[in-house]
Amino acid sequence: MTEQQTTTESVPLSSLSLDQLVQLSQGLGRKADAIREQRAHLKRLIDARLAAGERDGDAQRTASDGNATAAGAVIEASAT
Amino acid sequence: MSSLIFNRALELWARGSIDFDTDSFKVMLTTSAYTEDKDAHDFRNDVTNEVSGTGYTAGGNSVTVSVTLDTANDRVDISLGGTTWTSSTITARKAVYYKARGGASSADELVAVNDFGSDVVTSSGTFTLNASTMRIQN
């Protein structure tokens, strides 16, 4: 087995060419798009489970001292 | 049922009859027996099965409401403030927010319902209702 090593080099942004800056920006944009898609997928899962009435088990309970907390909610209305 | 915004609240907001920045709002608690109807329920007198018990006064508590524009996420968040009922012995399942005009319940416009998902019970303790957010997503 050949062990692969990764070396990270820090380069000042000001030293990059315009093309390199554009490529860097595009790369970050692709990562942002991927994260946005993952977030949307998670939101769909959360919405489906909330719609089914699921709540965190410890969101509301009566403590031994008689206190209790009711969780807040995000209630959405869509303009789209 | 789940948490919801009453349709009339959105209409009145659009018509300028509800100002979430300057109007007065309150939140009342109900038992699980109250079945909200986002179409048919528009004023407080439509709400049934309000809780009763030590430490709770009919009509509920005043809350702070504020509006935040979130341009990064293209939405408006209306924070419906939380509150507490100290030294209370009550069982509640839902919190109903409404515009409090200070008079008849038939004049108080309903805003939203937060369904806790299960009963929340205090026994000579503090009932804490955490804040909710009414989100208008563009």
- Average pLDDT (A48-72) is 69
Cβ pair A70:B127 closer than 8 A = yes
Min CA distance, B29 vs chain A (Å)?
Answer: 11
Q: Looking at beta carbons, which residues of chain B come within 8 Å of A65?
A: 125
Domains of chain A: which residue ranges?
Answer: 16-52
Per-residue pLDDT tens over the stretch B27-81: 999 999 999 999 999 999 999 999 999 999 999 999 999 999 999 999 999 999 9
Strand, helix or coil at A7? coil
A36, A55, A60: which to substitute to probe chain B, counting the most B Cβ within 10 Å? A60
Query: pLDDT value at position B91?
Result: 94
DSSP-assigned letter for residue A70: E
Q: Of the candidates A51, A54, A66, which has its C-beta nearest B122's C-beta?
A: A66
Cβ pair B125:A53 closer than 8 A = no
Query: pLDDT value at position B66?
Result: 94
Average pLDDT, chain B: 94
Instruction: Return phi, psi of residue B17, to 5°.
Output: -85, -15
Cβ pair B116:A55 closer than 8 A = yes
Would you put residue B102 in left (φ > 0), alpha (ψ -120 to 50) or beta? left
Mean pLDDT is lowest, of A17-21, B76-80, B85-89, for A17-21
Query: pLDDT value at position A62?
Result: 60
| Cα–Cα distance, B8 to B5 (Å, whole number) | 9
pTM of the model: 0.71
Query: pLDDT value at position B27?
Result: 97
Kindly tell me the sign of the dihedral angle through the C-alpha atoms of B101, B107, B111, B115: positive
Cβ pair B137:A79 closer than 8 A = yes
The residues in A 22-61 lying below 8 A from B, measured between CB atoms, are: 50-51, 53-55, 59-61
Residue A63's pLDDT band, with cuts at 50, 70 and 90, is low
Q: Of the candidates B114, B117, B136, which has its C-beta nearest A79's C-beta?
A: B136
With residue A74 as reference, give the H or E element that holds it.
Answer: strand A74-78
Query: pLDDT value at position A54?
Result: 63
Q: Of the candidates B115, B131, B138, which has its C-beta nearest A79's C-beta?
A: B138
- Considering only alpha carbons, which residue of chain A is nearest residue B133? A74
Q: What is the 3 state secondary structure string of chain B?
A: CCCEECHHHHHHHHHCCCCCCCCCEEEEEECCCCCCCCCCCCEHHHCCCECCCECCCCCCEEECEEEEEECCCCEEEEEECCEEEEEEECEEEEEEEEECCCCCHHHCEEEEEEEEEEEEECCCEEEEECCEEEEEEC
At A62, the amino acid letter reads T
Q: State the alpha helices, DSSP H only, in A1-80.
A: 18-51
Q: pLDDT at residue A59 above 50?
A: no
Using a CB–CB cutoff of 8 Å, tell me whether A18 touches chain B.
no
B114, B124, B138: which to substitute to probe chain A, counting the most A Cβ within 10 Å? B114
Q: In the sheet that B83-88 helps form, which strands lie side by side, from edge to edge?
A: A68-70, B125-129, B83-88
